[in-house]
Amino acid sequence: MPAISTNDLKNGITLELDNGLFQVVEFQHVKPGKGSAFVRSKLRNLKTGNILERTFNAGVRVEQALLDKKDMQFLYRDGDEYVFMDTESYDQTNVAPAALGDAADYLVEQAIAQIAYYNGDIVTVEIPAAVELSVTDTEPGIQGDRVSGAKKAATLETGKVVQVPLHINIGDRLRVDTRSGEYISRV
């Protein structure tokens, strides 16, 4: 594993610290007027998803974890597990819900996801920042109800419930932000 300097940290880099894998979410180089420089960082534990704040002295060497990433297509659910197919070799892989995290709320059949492996184990599953999903259940909008910014709950085809504007109806296709779970637009 290559060791990198904390001065070379970038968002998205994966580090192996304290027998765990952490992804750099945010970092800041700080050079106070007095004393030595340091790097303040926010790291996300890839196993639990928890955010950890950690400060390193500038120039300290840390172990970078090299992840193998593959584009895979979601096929179907098999009990609790999700079955993905490698788009190149057509090999199928079962993924536990814990590795998916919040991505499970946005997966529909035939969707492409990027699966990251470390030492043969699945570490993370990344999906696009926005996905298109159909509305399966929502209350009908009432004629004349034109309050600006009013929202109602809508259930998507994956079972995820999001807040949408009043004009959205059953069967509409919506673009939803997968990072925040918010409605973006109607497609």
Range of the domain at 152: 130-186
Do 81 and 134 fall within a single domain?
Answer: no
Q: Check pLDDT > 80 for residue 98.
A: no
**Mean of the pLDDT values across residues 118-123?**
86
Quick: pLDDT tens for 100-116.
878 888 888 898 999 98
Tell me phi and psi for residue 15, to 5 degrees: -120, 150
Domain count for the chain, please give it. Answer: 3
Quick: pLDDT tens for 63-78.
998 888 899 999 998 8
**Mean of the pLDDT values across residues 118-134?**
88
Q: Is 62 in contact with 13 (CB distance < 8 Å)?
A: no
**Mean of the pLDDT values across residues 122-140?**
89
pTM: 0.74
Do 30 and 52 fall within a single domain?
Answer: yes
Amino acid identity of 175? R
Do 38 and 87 fall within a single domain?
Answer: no
Amino acid identity of 116? A
Q: What is the CATH number of the domain that holds 157?
A: 2.40.50.140
Q: Is 8 in contact with 22 (CB distance < 8 Å)?
A: no
Q: Which residue has the higher pLDDT, 47 or 60?
A: 60
Q: How far apart are CA 21 and CA 77, in angstroms?
A: 27
Q: How far apart are CA 127 and CA 123, in angstroms?
A: 14
* Cβ-based neighbour number of residue 163 at 10 Å: 13
Do 150 and 134 fall within a single domain?
Answer: yes
* Residue ranges of E strands in 34-91: 38-45, 51-57, 61-64, 68-78, 81-86
Q: Check pLDDT > 80 for residue 19.
A: no
Where a domain ends, among 64, 81, 111? Answer: 64
pLDDT for the residue numbered 9: 86
pLDDT for the residue numbered 53: 92
Do 58 and 74 fall within a single domain?
Answer: no
pLDDT for the residue numbered 145: 61
Q: How far apart are CA 151 and CA 143, in angstroms?
A: 15
Q: How far apart are CA 104 and CA 178, in angstroms?
A: 10
Q: Is 184 in contact with 130 (CB distance < 8 Å)?
A: yes
Quick: pLDDT tens for 133-187.
999 998 887 666 666 677 889 999 988 999 988 888 889 999 999 888 889 988 8
pLDDT for the residue numbered 1: 60
Mean pLDDT of all residues in the chain?
A: 87
